[in-house]
């Protein structure tokens, strides 16, 4: 018994976290939060701001598999940056399609490829929806059937470029498209107090709200 107690003390939660490191700790938290959700699902994921990048990358890693296909709508990070990050981490881009709404507007370098489309402005949300729908249709008709997962990064950034009513309509249509194609949707948002009113409204459209 004393030995067991010593082992428990040795591998307490805090020490396990230190041993695993920050990235692994976040991956465990993401897995715990999302594993209980059965595909297809829609979820608002409220993210601790200081760990936003870790959590976003962990979610992409979780669904980066042969059975899943991610449609990643980015308003925060350019496609060029995402490609660089994936290369450093030796992760494949084969099952991820990027809709980049920020690069053209910000003047970032444009890199063309088969798995990316650019939208001229973060305010051109109708164009974004059309691209999502086109990709969902292609996945539905593909020989290899995969679980489609739409990831929006992020709700609060959409609201920087569009008023609340437009954001709510965009999310409502996006969720509707996911539902009609039997796809899942994960809407990321930093858990800021000032964006609480918007996220609480959008939560009504979702199956579940998760805090990580």
In the chain the beta strands, taken as DSSP E runs, fall at 42-47, 68-74, 96-100, 116-118, 147-153, 184-190, 208-211
CA separation for the pair 108, 39 (Å, rounded)? 35
Interacting residues of 98 by C-beta distance below 8 A, sequence separation 6+: 72, 74, 79, 82, 115, 116, 117
Other CB atoms within 10 Å distance of the CB of residue 47: 25
**Mean of pLDDT values over 100-112:** 93
Interacting residues of 52 by C-beta distance below 8 A, sequence separation 6+: 188, 190
- Judge contact between 167 and 73, C-beta under 8 A: no
Interacting residues of 188 by C-beta distance below 8 A, sequence separation 6+: 45, 47, 52, 55, 56, 59, 151, 152, 153, 154, 155
pLDDT digits 0-9 by tens, 47-105: 988 888 888 888 888 898 889 999 999 999 999 988 888 878 777 788 999 999 999 99
pLDDT band at 26 (very low <50, low <70, confident <90, very high): confident
Q: Could you tell me the fold of the domain covering 37-211?
A: Rossmann fold (3.40.50)
Q: Which helix or strand (DSSP H or E) is residue 179 part of?
A: helix 164-180
Q: Is the pTM of this model over 0.95?
A: no
pLDDT band at 9 (very low <50, low <70, confident <90, very high): very low
**Mean of pLDDT values over 106-126:** 94
């Amino acid at each position: 018994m004393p030995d067991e107690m010593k082992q428990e003390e040795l591998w307490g939660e805090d020490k396990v976290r230190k041993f695993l490191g920050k990235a692994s700790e976040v991956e465990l938290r993401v897995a715990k939060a999302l594993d209980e959700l059965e595909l297809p699902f829609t979820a608002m994921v409220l993210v601790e701001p200081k760990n936003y990048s870790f959590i976003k990358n962990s979610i992409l890693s979780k669904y980066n598999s042969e059975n899943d296909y991610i449609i990643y709508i980015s308003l925060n990070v350019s496609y060029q940056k995402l490609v660089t990050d994936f290369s450093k981490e030796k992760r494949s881009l084969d099952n991820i399609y990027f809709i980049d709404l920020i690069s053209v507007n910000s003047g970032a370098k444009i890199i063309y490829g088969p798995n990316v489309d650019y939208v001229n402005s973060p305010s051109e949300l109708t164009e974004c929806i059309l691209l999502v729908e086109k990709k969902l249709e292609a996945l539905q008709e593909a020989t290899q059937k995969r679980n489609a997962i739409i990831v929006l990064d992020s709700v609060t950034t959409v609201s920087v470029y569009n008023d609340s009513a437009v954001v709510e309509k965009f999310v409502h249509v996006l969720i509707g498209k996911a539902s009609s194609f039997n796809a899942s949707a994960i809407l990321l948002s930093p858990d800021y107090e000032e964006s609480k009113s918007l996220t609480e409204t959008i939560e009504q459209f979702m199956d579940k709200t998760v805090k990580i």
